[in-house]
Structure 1
């Protein structure tokens, strides 16, 4: 009997699919819900949790029991850290040698460019994840235990710590964190978690070992600098665009609350999914800015989605040598290989095509405004979880489309393309020819 063999990309897709199916079955059990939910809603919730998106067709806090919420948390943790990472840790715990094939699988799962240091990355990933989540839970407990009591306060702290660090966006409360729009502890802790989780484990480990910005790798420097610039610019623009909106910042009584709200909404589109203001009440200009942020997403080897910040930066920086009529990109006395640029371009094009296809189908199947559909699709692709309020009213076709987009967005369109395509070596080289462009 021949056993099926998968390449790393195919294995990643299969394992994610299996866990989503198992999660759907568990969430459909009577013990998981306060009232019966449909299979499509169970599948949607399981996919949203496993892909750490946060879009919800049913209310997490009221429609699921503690057991159901724990299932969601387990899916979030598995999806955020990565199934392959768990598998490798089990191998290592049992004292088994992690061979070349397993290293290739974890390399693919964590979107690494080489096999060097993948095992150290997995070890660091687990240590950093659980330590950061535990510390964050203790800090949030200081805020929520006095308000809700020991049991509920600690549970709410644990739930939101795991959800935030893994960029999932699931919340116990139906209005997310709007009740804490001006709370410094909640704002700082939640944003610290999803920014840390979204910047990428390779950057965290690199920063921990180097302890100096000058000694960091080019990838780490791009991620840290790019994240800081984008977050500051987004906060400034959000404040300017929403200052006179009576349904968002205009409804807040103090400048302090307005600044906290601007900061939170500026950084949350980077795949986090929490909100402290009503997203459906934002101005169209603000929504457009958030669409771009959601499309860009977080960092490679992080808990977030999107095309990744480094891909976006590489594409933007590639314009400069083109205008200067140079043949290569130079960043910080380093040259970027053409293969890296080609990969970033391929990811972006495949992502745009996927988003356009999903939008086209949903404009036919859904009774919603075009901007609401676009926002929902881009949010699903970036595994963000923000919504303008149409998620619960999606048709079965719309739910299936969003499920597929979340799945593709988490695993990456290029990963899925690799899982379907058969690798071929170029044995024949043809003469070079030019094609007119522009």
Structure 2
């Protein structure tokens, strides 16, 4: 009996030890299961949420926008570059070329926008870095890069008269484009010419690269004319865009019109309808007569060289070669070489009695004499670019309207018929 009791006691102790060991295994199994409700897992998730919340609080509400969009090409050199912000104000904007050259710009007084101070260059890549702050002082940053339109993909118009000049009443606005224009209506819509006199101004296309604009009658003396070019971004031909955006003004002087009577060998000068001088002249010879028609002085030279070979006058063709290096008081009337100019080499008796030139209108001009004593000098000093010179009674034809600034030789109906407006 005693031996059995001892045996049972030991058995119970062994079972208790096994039970304890099994319980330990079970507890160990429970700990290794990764229950999401465990205290350690809950503490980890709470920390991440706090991190996310803190990060969200650090994000600025300011939203920066840069134009043109990054990667843009053929961007305008005038109005494309711009930085704006909402829910904040701009603090710094830096613009540089790809080569590192700084482009100056200005942030608006309200801090909501920025733009360059001057026109950009064509065919150039620019980079913009902008920083803004929201109402809590948190910063936002934005970067952009774009390339402006290239010369190959853009056109410009060379115009006359110049800004701020004073011209005669016959001076049209003449624009010569450096590329052929196929969408004339779009380009003409971007060009406006107005006069303080209220005269209607209409454009006329002589070809795909030349547009002249004028009123039906000569400009009103004393008026101011304004030319506005709003061609920036206008597609003048397939893939070819305008880049000009500017305003030009010029003044119209007194109304001076001079009439050359080739048959009578005289030039009568009128201002505001009153004759102020009659000058004896010598116009084109019977073999080389002067054009008839209304012509506009387009250039003035105190002295210039005239070489007949440049306009087809050579001994080979029997027209008579000439090369005079110091022609005085010369004023151009046509692209083909018609001038009003001084003549010091001719016999003084020809003026007022004979036509001997190669097509120009010659006025007596004695070398070394004072200007006041010379008809050519007087006329030069009293003339403006844009003054009208009318030639009549010459055996030649009327000058072509596109030979110089001479569109006045077209009727108003002919002129307006070739407007793309």
TM over 0.5: no
| TM-score normalised by the chain length of structure 1 | 0.24
Question: Over alpha carbons, which structure has the higher Rg?
Answer: 2
| TM-score normalised by the chain length of structure 2 | 0.25
Whichever structure has more helix as a proportion of its residues is: 1
Whichever structure has more strand as a proportion of its residues is: 2
